[in-house]
Amino acid sequence: MKRRDFLRLTTTGLALAPARGFAEGPLTSPEMTALCDYMGAAKTRALPPDVVEQAKHHILDSLASMISGSELPPGQAAQRYIRANATQGSSTVAGTAMTASPVEAALANGVMAHADETDDSHSPSRSHPGCSVIPAALALGEHLGIEGGHFLRAVTLGYDVGTRVVVAMGGADFSYDSLLSTHSISGTFCASAAAACVAGFDAQRMRWVLDYAAQQSSGFIVWRRDVDHIEKGFVFAGMPARNGVTSALLVRSDWNGVDDVFSGPDNYFQAHAPKATLGKLVDKLGERYEIAGTDIKKWTVGSPIQGPLDAIYAIRGKHAFEAEEVSHVTVRLAPPVAEIVDNRDIPDICLQHMVAVMLLDKTASFHAAHDKPRMQDAAVLQMRAKVNLVRDEELAKLLPVRVAVVEIELADGSKLSERVTAVRGTPRNPMTREEVIDKARDLIAPVVGRDKSEQLVKSVYEIEAVTDIRSLRSLIQRT
């Protein structure tokens, strides 16, 4: 038999053979119906006032992260990509004078938003929603010229959907047991839901957007080897934001897809998390808003360092002292938490360095957290030598709550201590509007100027009055 005849026979046989697990007609679950009905109505659904306030906090915080991130190495890498490969488009590239297509702008702004450890985080899903949601919603929102209230509701929906996907997969337990990156998984579904809401899709089209989001879901934890934060910025934010806009644009171009990618033969959860609990996709949907359960960092450093800095700040508030009076500092963290930040070579994720800076400066500014040359400063090194990080097994029993204990011994023998069980900026100890704005000013003003910074803050907190989201462009770009 000739080769071409053999191929013809085998191809014909495959075509006639039934597909594995094939089922006739649409196969959908009640959970998928409820989720997509909710998503389809999100564009016009009123939100509780407290959720609106939280959404504004996270929008401002994420825009500030994008703008400040434009000056960091990952942000510079994103800009090089845009200059080399993108054409001028309808969407803003933050911190620059450039524009690009919605897909390219979402990618660049996502990388900038997670160019370091400035952006928000959602503990139950082990993800950073804002750095993918806001870049995706902004890029497509500018392309379509949506109004501010629509943008806010799309952002809120994004936080609700992607985080629940990972929680359904097992949340923190899944993240510890899998090589897959919960940050990129959650981010892709978060960004896709937000972009789909920006596009104003009905429930049916929401199904297809989730299908294309699932097909693009990728990323695994090899990013932990990245020492420059560039791959991490891509995995956590740039790629998910790009995926979300792509999913929405495909469906907007009249692509259809599978009606329920989470149920039926060969579904997403079966492939990645066979023990997933489908009901968690819609658990308290419309009652529990995940944006209100997402942390905003008071300090622009890695999450495990937040508690120790809070503790030093609290100790000083009760007992004033100068850095030169400190003879010894002990920081206690759970072992897996301590491992993340123990003597790292990047300032904002090195606990010993940031504790030394906090003691010397009495605060931890964005500039100080990114001043790598200062890691070799004699005064900082002298203070850093006094800091002892203890891996406390008792604190491991309290995970996923990250408890930090700081003990400071002064030269006169005084011993001061503080135990932080709820980090400032978490839902149990939220930041005020004023604190969120102060952080944003510290991030935005050095890049675009004080006047634009103040105008952007005002526009975000009055976003319902914004008739076209494109009016924010002049406030987030460098001229």
User: Is the model more confident about 19 or about 395?
Assistant: 395
Beta 404-410 vs 387-391: how paired, if at all? Answer: unpaired
Strands 387-391 and 326-333: parallel
Mean pLDDT within 21-34: 72
In our burial notation (b when 16+ CB lie closer than 10 A, e otherwise), range 339-363 reads: eebbebebbbbbbbbbbbbbbbeee
In the predicted model, what is the mean pLDDT of residues 236-257?
98
What is the structure's pLDDT at 27?
Answer: 72
Say yes or no to pLDDT of 344 above 70.
yes
Average pLDDT over residues 24-46: 90
Residue 473 pLDDT > 80:
yes
pLDDT of 10: 44
Whether 20 shows a pLDDT value over 50: the answer reads no
- Residue 49: count other Cβ atoms within 10 Å of its Cβ: 8
On the question of pLDDT at 68 being above 60, the answer is yes
Which tokens hold the place of 294? 């997402």
The whole-number pLDDT of residue 67 equals 98
Both tokens of 218, joined, read 């990728």
Q: What is the pLDDT of residue 384?
A: 97
Region 368-383: what's the mean pLDDT?
95
How far is 354 from 117, CA to CA, in rounded Å?
Answer: 13
Digit-coded pLDDT (tens) for 387-433? 999 999 999 999 888 999 999 999 999 999 999 999 999 999 999 99
- Say how far apart CA 466 and CA 147 lie, in whole Å: 6
What is the pLDDT at residue 331? Answer: 98
**Residue 331, helix vs strand vs coil:** strand
Which regions of 265-360 does DSSP assign to beta strands (E)?
A: 326-333
The reported pTM is 0.90
| pLDDT score recorded for residue 26 | 56
pLDDT band at 16 (very low <50, low <70, confident <90, very high): very low
Overall residue count recorded for the chain in this entry: 479
Of residues 117 and 146, the one with the higher pLDDT is: 146
> What's residue 63's pLDDT?
98
Task: Output the pLDDT for position 91.
Answer: 98
Q: Hey, what are 414's tokens?
A: 């005084």
- 3-state DSSP helix/strand/coil % of the chain, to nearest 5: 60, 10, 30
Flag whether pLDDT at 264 surpasses 70. yes
| Whether pLDDT at 270 is above 90 | yes
User: Where do the domains of the chain lie, and which CATH numbers do they carry?
Assistant: 30-293 (1.10.4100.10), 303-420 (3.30.1330.120)
Which residue is listed with tokens 């407290």?
Answer: 50
Taking residues 226-230, report their average pLDDT. Answer: 88
Distance CA 286, CA 295 (A): 19
**pLDDT tens per residue, range 424-447:** 999 999 999 999 999 999 999 999
Per-residue pLDDT reduced to its tens digit, 135-174:
999 999 999 999 999 999 999 999 999 999 999 999 989 9
Compute the distance between CA of residue 76 and CA of residue 84 in angstroms, rounded to an integer: 12
Contacts of 458 (CB under 8 A, 6+ apart): none
| Average pLDDT of the residues of the chain | 93
**Residue 324 near residue 298 (C-beta atoms within 8 A):** no
Q: Are 45 and 287 in contact (CB under 8 A)?
A: no
Q: How far apart are CA 167 and CA 156, in angstroms?
A: 17
